[in-house]
């Protein structure tokens, strides 16, 4: 891949983002979704792989068309772990790295008539003690594989059961006002390279075990952003507005 010293690119360090930064890892600033969103807002990045919520709630980014982190059904890495029935939820402790997942959970629960209080999780070690805790990314995977006593409310499953649509968790957000044709090309090529070498990534990455990585990449996560994914974004936007989680702006997709 060619060098891009003129562009500042951010991404998350979760396993699910690895195929989208294939070949340009040395160019990437890695941070949590919340931190990346802050940097984008301050124009400290030209592009970042961020939560779809960040794009929908801030009318200052374009979305790179064709590329996303999404799921249809079980996502495994975005979950509410709960010791009590959902109907008894009064407060939910949330992974502070999360943006979209908090809003997705608010929508899913509000559609059930539930509006608990959302609080930041003080640290990951405290997660096992909580009656209701929202976790994302590799921490969610680790928690679920550790066989806690919690039941698991998989947000991907809940969304697809409710809408018959996939859910889009993250997209490439592009800062407006700069010439970024070359940047868009590089990001599309990185995704293509990641998809072409997915077997290699599955076999050589060190997170978890190879059987899990294969199931996760081949069944839980997908990386295309097409008609169904755009319908899902529109549906999510409608529900954010319905439950007073806006203002919500129309996404602008660029090739």
47-51 and 9-11 as β-strands: parallel, antiparallel, unpaired?
parallel
What three-state secondary structure class fits 8? coil
State the Cα–Cα distance between residues 72 and 1, nearest whole angstrom.
31
Instruction: Please answer whether residues 60 and 175 qualify as being in contact, where contact means their C-beta atoms are separated by less than 8 angstroms.
Output: yes
Q: How far apart are CA 151 and CA 162, in angstroms?
A: 19
Among 166, 214, 181, 204, residue whose Cα is nearest residue 22 = 204
| 9-70+166-254 and 78-163 have identical folds | yes
Domain ranges of the chain: 9-70+166-254, 78-163
Residues 6+ apart with CB under 8 A from 60: 41, 175, 176
Identify the pLDDT of residue 30.
96
Q: Which of 161, 162, 155 is nearest to 76 (CA)?
A: 155
- Separation of alpha carbons 34 and 54, rounded Å: 9
pLDDT average per 10 residues of sequence, the chain (255 residues): 70 95 95 91 96 95 98 97 97 90 97 97 93 95 88 98 98 95 97 98 96 97 98 98 95 96
Q: Enter the tokens of residue 189.
A: 């090529």
Tokens coding 81: 């772990």
**Distance between CA atoms of residues 210 and 63, nearest Å:** 32
155 and 78 Cβ atoms separated by less than 8 Å: yes
Longest dimension (CA), the chain: 53
Show the tokens assigned to 30.
């890695």
Q: Looking at the domain covering 78-163, what would its CATH class be?
A: alpha beta
For residue 92, the SS3 value is: strand
| The predicted structure's pLDDT at residue 6 | 81
* R_g over Cα of the chain: 18
Domain 9-70+166-254's class? alpha beta
How is residue 240 annotated by DSSP? H
Cα 210 to Cα 225: distance, rounded to the nearest angstrom: 26
């Amino acid at each position: 891949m060619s060098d891009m010293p003129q562009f500042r690119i951010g991404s998350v360090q979760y396993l699910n983002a690895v195929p989208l930064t294939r070949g340009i890892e040395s160019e990437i600033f890695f941070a949590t979704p919340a931190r990346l969103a802050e940097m984008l807002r301050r124009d400290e990045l030209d592009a970042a792989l961020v939560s779809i919520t960040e794009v929908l709630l801030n009318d200052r980014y374009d979305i790179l068309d064709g590329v996303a982190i999404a799921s249809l059904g079980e996502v495994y890495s975005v979950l509410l772990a709960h010791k009590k029935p959902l109907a008894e939820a009064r407060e939910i402790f949330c992974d502070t790295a999360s943006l979209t997942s908090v809003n997705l959970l608010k929508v899913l629960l509000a559609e059930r008539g539930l509006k608990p209080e959302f609080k930041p999780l003080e640290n990951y070690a405290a997660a096992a003690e909580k009656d209701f805790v929202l976790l994302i990314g590799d921490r969610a995977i680790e928690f679920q594989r550790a066989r806690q006593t919690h039941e698991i409310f998989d947000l991907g499953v809940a969304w697809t059961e409710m809408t018959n649509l996939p859910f889009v968790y993250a997209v490439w957000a592009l800062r407006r006002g700069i010439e970024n044709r070359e940047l868009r090309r590089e990001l599309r090529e990185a995704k293509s390279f990641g998809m072409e070498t997915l077997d290699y990534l599955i076999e050589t990455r060190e997170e978890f075990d190879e059987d899990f990585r294969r199931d996760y990449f081949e069944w839980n996560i997908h990386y295309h952003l097409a008609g169904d994914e755009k319908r899902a974004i529109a549906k999510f936007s409608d529900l954010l507005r319905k439950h007073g989680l806006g203002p919500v702006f129309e996404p602008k997709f660029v090739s």
